[in-house]
Amino acid sequence: MLRKYSTHRTHKDNLKIGGLTAFSAGMVNVISVIVFFAFTSNITGHYAVFAQELAKGNWFQAAIVILWIILFFFGSFTSNFVIIHGNKYIGRYLSHAIPIILEIICLLVVGIYLQNFYTESLQETEFLVGLLLFAMGLQNGLTASISNSAVKTTHLTGLTTDLAIALSMITKKHYRKDEKVIEKIQLLSSIMFFYVIGGVITGILYNTIRNYTFYIVCFVLTVIIFYDYYKLTVLKYNHKKFFSLKQEVRERKNNIQEEQNSNITEQNTCY
């Protein structure tokens, strides 16, 4: 899911990372709306609000909104920065995992702060919303960067447009057999589905477990990291073990055959 890059990624890889990250983005967005009355996974609305606040002459609020947008921007910037620079020094898997780790840290900070220290002041709200926007920027930057912009999971505006285009394509018979178009439809609709499901589950869960919901999002993100870790280490180890066993068997077979051959030659020479 994480370790493959750009064109090396399969459709299945994109489906997995798209579904899981969209699920977490949907969750984060709904919690932030419930707790802070602000969207955190998409920033299109924030641009409109920024323009509106400027027009009204509310400089303070305009500054807050532009800082939120910049935090989302820096999240995506950091993601891609780590991916392109870290690849050389810390390996592909780790450089792809770092943005998710940072995102988990941000979400944990928000969850812990809300549970223990939140006094509902405006400054705290603004700061925590900023932190969530940074986390969502990290996630969006990561998925877009490693999938060659095929997977974007924190907002659905572009996705809805792409899905509509893909669906209109298959009204032509020629495109119905096009695997790329079909795969695109599958990917986009699964992202949309999981985003909504994440939101719905959060809406239901928040009433009972309140801010613990943040830990569930962190768990989902941890699954993404450990899935690849599992693939990289455990499966690789098993594969190696299996391979070495196979080689051992082959060597034994060769040895037996050699022994048999030498016996035959010995017998022949005796005769």
Does position 49 interact with other proteins (CB under 8 A)? The reply is yes
Of 60 and 89, CB closest to other proteins: 60
Contact 22, 187 (CB under 8 A): no
Residue 74 or 215 having the CB closest to other proteins: 74
The residue with tokens 């997995």 is 16
Among 126, 162, 178, 183, binds other proteins (CB under 8 A): 126
Please report whether residue 60 would count as binding other proteins according to CB under 8 A: yes
62/142 with CB nearer other proteins? 62
Measured CA to CA, the distance from residue 149 to residue 210 in angstroms comes to 34
Taking the C-alpha atoms of residue 123 and residue 245, their distance in angstroms, rounded to an integer, is: 62
Does residue 67 belong to the site contacting other proteins (CB under 8 A)?
A: yes
Q: Name the residue nearer to other proteins (CB basis): 110 or 225.
A: 110
The least CB distance from residue 187 to other proteins, in Å, is 28
Q: Any contact of residue 63 with other proteins (CB under 8 A)?
A: yes
Is 38 a binding residue for other proteins by CB under 8 A? The answer is yes
Is 62 a binding residue for other proteins by CB under 8 A? The answer is yes
> Among residues 80, 87, 125, 222, which is the contact residue for other proteins, using CB under 8 A?
125
Rounded to 10 degrees, the C-alpha dihedral 219/221/227/232 comes to: -120
Q: Which two tokens stand for residue 219?
A: 């768990």
Q: Which long-range contacts (CB under 8 A, 24 or more apart) does 99-103 make?
A: 99/138, 99/139, 99/141, 99/142, 100/2, 100/138, 100/139, 100/142, 100/221, 100/224, 100/225, 101/225, 102/78, 102/135, 102/138, 103/135, 103/136, 103/138, 103/139, 103/221
Number of residues that bind other proteins (CB under 8 A): 25
> For other proteins, which residue of 5, 11, 66, 231 counts as binding (CB under 8 A)?
66
Nearer to other proteins, 70 or 90 (CB): 70
Per rule CB under 8 A, is residue 33 in the interface with other proteins?
Answer: yes
Largest CA-CA distance found in the chain, in angstroms, rounded: 110
Say if CB 159 and CB 143 are below 8 A apart: no
User: Do the beta carbons of residue 16 and residue 146 sit within 8 Å?
Assistant: no
CB of 70 to other proteins, least distance (A): 7
**Intra-chain end-to-end CA distance of the chain, in Å:** 65
Both tokens assigned to 89: 């020094």
Q: Which DSSP letter does residue 117 get?
A: T
Ranges within 129-158 binding other proteins (CB under 8 A): 129
Segment near other proteins (CB under 8 A), from 31-39, 97-105, 109-117, 229-237?
31-39
Piece of the chain touching other proteins by CB under 8 A; list 17-25, 65-73, 179-187, 206-214: 65-73
Residues in contact with other proteins by CB under 8 A are 33, 36-38, 49, 53, 56, 58-67, 70, 120-123, 125-126, 129
